[in-house]
Amino acid sequence: VQLQASGGGLVQAGAPLRLSCAASGRTVSTYSMGWFRQAPGKEREFVAAIRWSGVYTYYADSVKGRFTISRDNDKNTMYLQMSSLKPEDTAVYYCAAYRVSIWTDSYMKSKNSVASWGQGTLVTVSS
């Protein structure tokens, strides 16, 4: 699966922003997918995940209630709607396709569970 993230930019704290991830390849709609982010000087961390059907979602505590992950399998596209952005949300955001359709907290949070990464899109939140 090939992934391409877009939609990053510079926004003020409190503003919304939507990221997109276009996917291509066979049977894209059967993959669970997610978003990770990496802030300067920090390790890449899990943000959100969505199961292949789009019915089940899972969020990191730091973004729960502010971010919404969704997908449109007809368009092979995944989204991350971000609201109430904070300066600490500043990071490069990566979309990801998971290796297998396991749905556990530990699996979704692990970078080792990812089969394919997008190239990343920078989100900068100014205070």
pLDDT band at 123 (very low <50, low <70, confident <90, very high): very high
pLDDT band at 26 (very low <50, low <70, confident <90, very high): low
Span 37-57, mean pLDDT?
Answer: 94
Residue 106's pLDDT is 93
Residue 13's pLDDT is 97
Residue 71's pLDDT is 94
Query: Looking at per-residue confidence, does 25 or 88 come out higher?
Result: 88
| Cβ atoms of 47 and 111 closer than 8 Å | no
pLDDT, tens digit, for every residue of 50-91? 998 888 999 999 999 999 999 999 999 999 999 999 999 999
Residue 1's pLDDT is 86
Residue 39 to residues 36, 67, 84, 88, Cα–Cα distance (Å):
10, 17, 18, 8
User: Shortest CA distance to 19 belongs to which of 34, 1, 39, 32?
Assistant: 34
Residue 37's pLDDT is 98
pLDDT, tens digit, for every residue of 93-122? 999 999 887 889 999 999 999 999 999 999
Asked whether residue 28 carries a pLDDT value surpassing 80, the answer given is no
Residue 64 CB neighbours (<10 A): 10
| Cβ atoms of 3 and 116 closer than 8 Å | yes
Tokens of 123: 């989100």
